[in-house]
Amino acid sequence: MIAEEAFREMLVDYIATTKPRLQALGLTRNATAADALVQAAAVRALERWDRVDGERALGPWFWYVMLNLHRDARRADGRTLSLDAPLLRPTADQETLR
């Protein structure tokens, strides 16, 4: 296990790279939402720093924190992907062509 201060330094260094933001952009497709997701994941990571095994890389662990937060937010919004629902809704122009 690593010390809390060492974890904080590792986390700050990792977030300073562009990788977490790019991953968050891939999930949210929105720059503002991506920044909020990285920030929320950082807070969650700091709350649960003792769950990180010092032998494993921080990046994959942080990715799963972001992914779980994103999934939780989508569920709360009721915007989960249903396999029965159409992927795209027709626009008004497309409706008139039918």
In a domain, 40, yes or no: yes
Q: What is the pLDDT of residue 11?
A: 93
Residue 38: which domain range? Answer: 4-79
Q: How confident is the model at residue 3 (pLDDT cuts 50, 70, 90)?
A: confident
CATH code where residue 65 lies: 1.10.1740
Q: Residue 68: pLDDT above 60?
A: yes
Give the tens place of pLDDT for each residue, 32-53.
999 999 999 999 999 998 887 7
In a domain, 47, yes or no: yes
Mean residue pLDDT of the chain comes to: 83
Answer for the pair 27, 66: CB distance below 8 angstroms, yes or no.
yes
Q: What is the pLDDT of residue 98?
A: 52
Please spell the DSSP secondary structure of 53-97, one letter per residue.
-TTS-HHHHHHHHHHHHHHHHHHHHT-PPPSSS-SSPPPHHHHHH
In a domain, 72, yes or no: yes
Q: What's the pTM value of the predicted model, to 2 decimals?
A: 0.72
Q: How many domains does the chain have?
A: 1
